[in-house]
Amino acid sequence: MKIYQKENIFQGKIVWMAEHKDENGNWKLDTKNPNENLRLRKKTGLVILFNLKWDDDQKEWNCGQIYDSREEDTYSLFAITEESNTLKLRGFIGFRCLEKQQFGNVLIDNQVFQIIY
């Protein structure tokens, strides 16, 4: 995922997938999207992180959302930097204590960060 700044918020899109094509050589699509009009979008290039803002008081990014195309869900999102090259993205539905996390890499300003989301 590449995270980039658009005005005063951050967004993220999928820039690489280990298997970006299916067994027939076709691009993997967002076929499980609840919105039928969006199901023909390629997963590679798909914007999945929205509206993440830096909160100087909390020392974290918050107010964001992240879309999980595998589970057809959009989660509320906050993120913290744990180490120099680790960004922890935490998605949740409802209450922040009900968090979901996974691992991956993210690119911010041409620097690769390991992410936990």
User: What one-character DSSP code corresponds to residue 26?
Assistant: P
- Domains in the chain: how many in total? 1
pLDDT tens per residue across span 15-40: 888 888 999 999 999 998 889 999 99
Q: What confidence score (pLDDT) does residue 84 get?
A: 63
- CATH label of the domain that carries residue 110: 2.40.128.520
Distance between CA 23 and CA 33 in Å, rounded?
Answer: 21
Tell me if the pTM is above 0.85: no
Give percent of the chain above pLDDT 70.
75
Backbone region of residue 63 per phi and psi (left: phi > 0; alpha: psi in -120 to 50; beta: other values):
left
Domain that holds residue 74: 2-116
CA distance 7 to 94: 27
Predicted pLDDT at 29: 94
For 39, residues 6+ apart whose C-beta sits below 8 A from its C-beta are: 29, 30, 31, 32, 33
